[in-house]
């Protein structure tokens, strides 16, 4: 019995039986842009990634500014438990909060200690909690910071690319979603060909390039790869 089941909502759905039309990369059509000698410039919207909340985590460094109260303004590091300690405000749990949420929590604590109408601003100076782990057959495995525009291809490029004998069709993303461990099997070659989108990468993701225990769980389904038009997604049991 396989240790996982394939989610029904994923883009890895089969395109049909062998007698039907082939998958996306071989059946896609080109629309030629007339009277154009070069690729057009991207619009401002093309250059702006969808906003992702930057969450504060253990060992991140933040700057706290309390307007007109210089004695309370300071740069500090979140402790290993995700907490900060400030005069008058006391100990506050910063873990998993955005800068705006932490500023509101500090302002509430200060207001309770007789600071009139505190105005608090938080800046995240450096983050060690918002990272992705890259392992396996890449030139430089390790931890890499996650930004709004981070994708699988960009993470692999940050790790200096694939190693000499890496299999670009064996790339697994491990992610926890609503308490469930999930895995996605991706093919970098298919992404390069435009067969499907380069997936977004989020803090806490683990990317494994090449053979891995999770990749081996997919083997019975990888045999169907000629019929797949997208990544293979599973919930791990």
Q: What is the residue extent of each domain of the chain? A: 61-126, 130-237
pTM of full prediction above 0.85: no
Does residue 94 carry a pLDDT above 60? yes
Average pLDDT estimate for 198-207 = 92
Q: What SS3 state is found at 77? A: strand
Give the DSSP letter of residue 139.
Answer: S
Closest CA to 202 of 55, 29, 69: 55
Does residue 65 carry a pLDDT above 90? yes
pLDDT at res. 34: 63
CATH top-level class for 130-237? Answer: alpha beta
Nearest 5°: CA angle at 30, between 46 and 193? 70
* Complete DSSP assignment for 106-134: HHHHHHTTT-SS--EEEEEEE-SSSEEEE
Greater confidence (221 vs 151) lies with: 151
Hey, which of 7-21, 88-102, 163-177, 223-237 has the most confident mean pLDDT? 88-102
Does residue 204 carry a pLDDT above 50? yes
Task: Give the whole-angstrom CA distance, residue 217 versus residue 222.
Answer: 10
Topology classification of domain 61-126: wza like fold (3.30.1950)
Hey, which of 141-150, 152-161, 203-212 has the most confident mean pLDDT? 152-161
Cα 44 to Cα 47, 92, 132, 146, 149, distances in angstroms: 5, 39, 27, 22, 14
Does residue 164 carry a pLDDT above 80? yes
Task: Give the whole-angstrom CA distance, residue 65 versus residue 70.
Answer: 8
* Complete DSSP assignment for 197-211: ---B--TT-EEEES-
User: Rounded to an integer, what is the distance from CA 18 to the centroid of its chain?
Assistant: 35
Q: Indicate the burial class of 130 (C-beta count within 10 angstroms; 0-12, 13-18, 19 or more).
A: buried
Residue-wise pLDDT for 9-45, tens only, equals: 344 433 333 333 334 344 445 566 666 667 677 788 7
pLDDT at res. 170: 87
């Amino acid at each position: 019995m396989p240790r996982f089941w394939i989610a029904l909502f994923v883009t890895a759905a089969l395109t049909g039986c062998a007698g039907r039309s082939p998958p996306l990369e071989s059946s896609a059509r080109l629309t030629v842009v007339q009277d154009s000698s070069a690729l057009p410039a991207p619009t401002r919207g093309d250059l702006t990634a969808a906003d992702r909340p930057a969450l504060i985590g253990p060992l991140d460094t933040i700057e706290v500014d309390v307007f007109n109260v210089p004695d309370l303004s300071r740069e500090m590091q979140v402790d290993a438990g995700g907490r900060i300690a400030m005069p008058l405000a006391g100990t506050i749990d910063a873990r998993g909060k955005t800068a705006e949420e932490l500023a509101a929590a500090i302002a509430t604590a200060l207001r309770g200690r007789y600071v009139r109408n505190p105005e608090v601003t938080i800046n995240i100076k450096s983050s060690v909690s918002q990272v992705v782990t890259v392992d396996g057959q890449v030139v430089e495995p390790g931890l890499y910071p996650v930004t709004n525009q981070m994708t699988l291809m960009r993470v692999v490029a940050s790790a200096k690319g694939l190693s000499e004998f890496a299999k670009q069709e064996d790339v697994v993303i491990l992610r926890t979603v609503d308490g469930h461990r999930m895995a996605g099997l991706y093919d970098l070659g298919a992404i390069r060909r435009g067969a499907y989108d380069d997936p977004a990468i989020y803090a806490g993701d683990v990317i494994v390039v090449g053979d891995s225990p999770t990749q081996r769980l997919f083997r019975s389904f990888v045999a169907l790869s000629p019929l797949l038009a997208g990544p293979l997604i599973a919930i791990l049991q």
